[in-house]
Amino acid sequence: MYDPASALVGKAAVFETMAENPAVVALSELATDAKFDRNELTITVARENIVVACEAVKAAGYNFFEDVTAVDWFPQEPRFQLSYHIVSHGLKERVRLRVLLDSSDASVPTITSAWPSANFYEREVFDLFGIDFPAIHDSLAS
């Protein structure tokens, strides 16, 4: 039976307890929040760091981009949550990268430079939620 008290909530608790985890090590400077619950690791990063975060976990041995999806928490702000699911076959682990977006600026850089297969999922999220995924050079120009 699930015990809610077993969850690790907050960056400090997760990063202290899981200090040897490759994703934790790779994202130590980029994470803004973290949670480990039901054997799932979720690390929150700022939108401007998502590409760097993807490259960091890739370098740490996470070799498969599974998908990206979104949640609309209307009327709450930040309204949107993007969840990027990334797997390491060698480590037999997965990590969820989470980005939170306000409804007034629902845009996050595309991660296709790190994971080309993200293109399909980003287009689907755009179609369903209206979240924009400009190329990195486009987001730096604005």
Task: Kindly report, residue by residue over 63-84, the tens digit of the pLDDT.
Answer: 999 999 999 999 999 999 999 9
pLDDT tens-digit profile, the chain (142 residues): 888 888 999 999 999 999 999 999 999 999 999 999 999 999 999 999 999 999 999 999 999 999 999 999 999 999 999 999 999 999 999 999 999 999 999 999 999 999 999 999 999 999 999 999 998 545 444 4
79 touches 99 (CB < 8 A): no
Q: Which of 91, 84, 90 is nearest to 118 (CA)?
A: 84
pTM of the predicted protein model: 0.92
